[in-house]
Amino acid sequence: MTSPGSRIAEIVDGIGLSAEQREEIRRRLEACLDALVRAGATERDERIEALSTRLLQAEEQLAQAQKMEAIGRLTGGIAHDFNNLLTGILGYSSLLKTFLPENSRGYEAAAYIERSARRASELTRQLLAYSRRETPTFRPVDLRRVIEEAIGILSRSVNKNVEIHVDFHHPQEPVSGDPGTLLQAMLNLGVNASDAMPGGGHLTFSTSTFVSDGEVYLNDVLVPEGRYVSICVADTGSGIPEEIRDEVFAPFFTTKAPGEGTGLGLSMVYSCVRTHGGFVRLVSSVGVGTTIQILLPITEESGDAVEPRAPEPDIARGTETVLVVDDEEIPLNLLCDVLRSLGYTTLPASSGEEGIEILRYAPEKVDLVIADRIMAGMDGIETLARLRAIRPTLRTILCSGTSEAEGIPSGAVPDGFDDFLQKPYERETLARTVRSVLDGRPSKF
Q: Does residue 87 register a pLDDT over 70?
A: yes
H or E segment and range at residue 361: helix 352-361
Categorize the per-residue pLDDT at 170 as very low, low, confident or very high, splitting at 50, 70 and 90: confident
- pLDDT band at residue 41, thresholds of 50, 70 and 90? low
**Rounded to whole angstroms, what are the CA distances from 109 to 101, 213, 330, 395, 445?**
12, 51, 21, 37, 44
216 confidence band (pLDDT: 50, 70, 90): confident
Whole-angstrom distance, CA of residue 378 vs CA of residue 327: 10
Query: Which pLDDT value is given to residue 320?
Result: 92
d(C-alpha 232, C-alpha 265), whole Å:
17
- Domains contained in the chain, CATH given: 1-31 (no CATH), 143-297 (3.30.565.10), 321-439 (3.40.50.2300)
Give which of 166, 161, 237, 162 is closest to 204, Cα–Cα: 166
Cα angle for residues 384, 387, 391 (degrees, 5° grid) = 130
Q: Per mean pLDDT, which range of 37-46, 162-171, 248-257, 434-443 is the poorest?
A: 248-257
Is the per-residue pLDDT at 152 higher than 50? yes
